[in-house]
Amino acid sequence: MRQRAATGVGVAARTVSVVVCTHTDRRLALLLECVESLRANDPHEIIVVVDANPPLLEKLRAILPRDVELILSPGRGVSAARNAGVAAASGDLVAFIDDDATAEPDWLDELEKPFDDPHVVAAGGRILPRWEGITPVLPGKDPTAEQLAAPRDQRQRGADEMAQGGGGYGRGKASGSGGRRRRY
């Protein structure tokens, strides 16, 4: 894995660790897609954290590429799993992505750019969900007949405000915060 080049003048190059939390083998195919999309981004390291599912951990040991670090979360829930991923990460930045998401080829490059500003401690980006089945109606949004009749990819464009699965954090700047909140 390579060190990512800085995009600004006088800005040091940074390494990016990516943490993926997972908890069920029902999303195994999606997790494998996620990991492959991350490998195409060439991060410093990929850490898959398994939340409260030792049988899944054993299954993943047999099928994930050897360069993917695999750990079992010591707690329960996504916050404990993300904190375990941060503790295991060695990169300058830590990026999170959900196990059912795929990263665009330039995802890490784009996610890292805001960190050229020394005041930035966290960054995020647009997430387009891949709904299983019919796209749900979002709270506070009454769909028109035209919207409901639109092809699936067009309906997804308005749904990204509901997604919540990615972001990056500067380790040194946020490390005194005690990690991510345990409850949402």
Q: Domain of 58? A: 16-125+164-174
Q: Assess whether pLDDT exceeds 60 at residue 77.
A: yes
* Pair 103, 19: CB distance under 8 Å: no
DSSP string, 14-67: B-EEEEEEE--GGGHHHHHHHHHHHHHH--SEEEEEE-S-HHHHHHHHHHS-TT
Which residues have CB under 8 Å from 33's CB, separation 6+?
A: 102
Map tokens 């500003």 to a residue. 117
Query: Dihedral, CA atoms, 62, 64, 68, 73, nearest 10 degrees?
Result: -70
In this structure, is residue 159 part of a structural domain? no
Nearest to 166 by CA among 93, 117, 67, 66: 93
Mean pLDDT of the chain: 80
Average pLDDT over residues 144-155: 49
List pLDDT tens digits, range 79-93. Answer: 999 999 999 999 999
Q: For residue 130, what pLDDT is reported?
A: 75
User: Residue 108 is part of a domain; what is its CATH number?
Assistant: 3.90.550.10
> What pLDDT is recorded for position 127?
80
Bridge partners, 14 (sequence order): 4
Long-range contact pairs involving 134-142 (C-beta distance under 8 Å, separation at least 24): 135/159, 136/162, 138/162
User: Is 92 among the domain residues?
Assistant: yes
Look at residue 45 in the predicted model and tell me its pLDDT.
Answer: 98
Under the banding of pLDDT at 50, 70 and 90, the label for residue 17 is very high
Residue 97 belongs to some domain of the structure: yes
What type of residue sits at position 47?
I
User: Does a structural domain hold residue 91?
Assistant: yes
SS3 4: strand
Q: Is residue 112 part of a domain?
A: yes
Best CA proximity match to 72, nearest among 54, 88, 60, 98: 54
> How many structural domains does the chain have?
1
pLDDT-wise least confident of 41-50, 62-71, 168-177: 168-177
- Specify if 99 maps to a domain: yes
Inside any domain, residue 74: yes
The mean pLDDT of 99-121, rounded to a whole number, is 94
Read off the pLDDT band of 6 (50, 70, 90): low
Higher pLDDT, 151 or 77: 77
Question: Which residue would you say has higher pLDDT here, 48 or 144?
Answer: 48
The residues pairing with 166 across neighbouring beta strands, listed in sequence order, are 97
41 pLDDT more than 90: yes
pLDDT at 183 over 70: no
144 domain-assigned: no
